[in-house]
Amino acid sequence: MKNNKKMLTTLLAVSMTAGLVACSGGNDASPGTTGSASDGQSEKKQTITWFEGTWESPVPEPKSDAVAKINEKFNVDFQPQYIPWDTYEEKLAVKMASGDLPDVIGMEEVNSNYVKWAQDGAFLPLEDLLDDYDTMKIIPPFVRDSLTVDGHIYGVPTYFSAKGGKKMVIRQDWLDKLDLTMPTNYEELKQVAIAFAKQDPDGNGKDDTLGLGLAKNIYYDPQNGAYYHNDAWYHKNENGQYIPGMISEANKEKIQFLIDLSKEGAISKDWAVTTYKDVFKEFNAGKVGIWYEQPGVQSANGIYPPTLMANAPEAVVAPIPPFISPDGSEGLKMGSGWYRMYLVSSKLKDQPEKVAKILEMIDYMRGSVPLNEQNPQNEFFDWKMGGEGEGYMMADGLAQKNPEKRSMTAPAAYILDFSWAENDVDLEEFIELSPTQEGKDFNRMMTDMLKSTKWYIDPSSRIIAPGYMEKKTELKKYITDETTKMIIGQRSIDEWDKMVEEWLAKGGQEAIDEVNKAIADSNLQGEWQ
């Protein structure tokens, strides 16, 4: 499991937020399918085994009120097994090696295992079936591309805003107090960060503020634009090949920026051994001026308005718009557009009725419910959320999950129910769902910025490169380790080109060759949207 995946759950935790079209409100027909849920009378009961990781706590059990509801709704014998995500990948590998595959398998992302198992014939190709279901046929082409192995799509992805994820934010009130303007490039950001560290922006007369938050492993990387994104294949080398941002001159500029901040005392002297969670605590304590957050309903695991306002009542947190890059571009890297997927075992290739039932269940659960209908009066919403007073509770007109009972009563705790949002509906709904005015204000500013900016679709995110997938973690760690040495003074940034050559020799050039061949074979290129 990766920390960045855990941070994404801030968005995913609000499963009722993404709306597409008005819900029918009926309990017998899906609001998002071309067909309808089973009436329990007209077809043979299917036994469906289901194996997936979960963030739910307590872990959903194989026998519960929620399972009974699913069985009744779809006329099935639903047999689920859920494993906490922190151990799921290991358990999944054992399950796949056994050959005794469940009907449905959950995965977090496309990785080398996904490719290997697909090529080994473990999964059923689904590309001819997706367009039969309303909530699946609207999956964007760039998302479909990211799941395609040898011409086949094996996963049904679950929506996650391609515009979501952590973005650079700043204490607007500190800018105002020091008569500074919103930075538009790294030189301006450096001057602002130094001022935040040295000019007492909180007005307490103490030298106790930091300009920029930074944690070990250069977490978060201070990128603010596709041009500067370490994981974006945006730049090209002298041979015209796309290269990862981590070895680009743009990253060198960021590292020099961090070196300068370190010399000026604008970042913590202990950053290389500090966790990102501790930086969140420092920001919420009112001691950090520039950090990162994403649109969503704020929680204590991130920038949390109640705590921040208690420590700094005047605080205003605002997003920093993407920087104007040397090549003239000004926009952010588009995210994957999805997080988590369902795969169907290839052993069902001769059981089309069961496959159709599985896809019907997934499609039904993804049916949308507008925010103003997410209440007990909407029968579909009430059913999938486990019933008012059981799986959820109403507070100030908003549905709130009941963590004590949800995993026993809510079908949505068992089958993912995130609707595929269009036109940034989910971002807009985060504004209304925020319980504090400060949260609403932040989400409004963040949403307005995200809706107005341009987005770079990375061609490497649309192809499969198994060799690079296997080497990616090791290659990224090498650059992170060496650039950390540069920031703390153990290696000179004058050795940048030498470091890149070392990276290429460790398998980086083979990765570049493989990725670029796949991009060319698919006739893709980086594009702005």
Res 56 pLDDT > 90:
yes
What backbone torsions phi and psi does residue 311 show, to the nearest 5 degrees?
Answer: -90, -30
Q: What is the pLDDT of residues 345-393, one digit of tens each?
A: 999 999 999 999 999 999 999 999 999 999 999 999 999 999 999 999 9
pLDDT at 10: 41
Q: From CA 139, how far away is CA 328, in angstroms rounded? A: 31
Burial letters 87-120, b for 16+ CB under 10 A, else e: ebeeebeebbeeeebbbbbbbbbbebbbbebbee
Q: What is the pLDDT of residues 401-460, one digit of tens each?
A: 999 999 999 999 999 999 888 888 899 999 998 989 999 999 999 999 999 999 999 999
Report the chain's mean pLDDT, rounded to a whole number: 92
List, in sequence order, every beta strand (DSSP E) within 305-369.
317-319, 331-333, 338-344
Q: From CA 363, how far away is CA 43, in angstroms rounded? A: 18
Q: What is the DSSP string of 217-280?
A: TTBS----SGGG-TT-EEEE-TTS-EEEGGGSHHHHHHHHHHHHHHHHT-S-TTGGG--HHHHH
Q: What percent of the chain has pLDDT over 70?
A: 92
Q: From CA 515, how far away is CA 244, in angstroms rounded? A: 10
Mean pLDDT value of segment 132-151: 95
Distant-in-sequence, close-in-space partners of 23: CB < 8 Å, separation ≥ 6:
31, 367, 368, 369, 370, 373, 378, 380, 381
Distant-in-sequence, close-in-space partners of 124: CB < 8 Å, separation ≥ 6:
154, 343, 344, 345, 346, 348, 349, 355
pTM of the model: 0.86
Radius of gyration of the chain (CA): 24
Mean pLDDT value of segment 257-284: 97
Q: What is the CA angle 342-97-125, rounded to 5? A: 35
Res 106 pLDDT > 60:
yes
Per-residue confidence band for 28, with pLDDT thresholds at 50, 70 and 90: very low
pLDDT at 143: 95
pLDDT at 23: 32
pLDDT at 299: 85
Mean pLDDT value of segment 270-282: 97
Q: What is the pLDDT of residues 214-254, one digit of tens each?
A: 999 999 999 999 999 999 999 999 999 999 999 999 999 99
Q: Is the distance from CB of 124 to CB of 153 less than 8 angstroms?
A: no
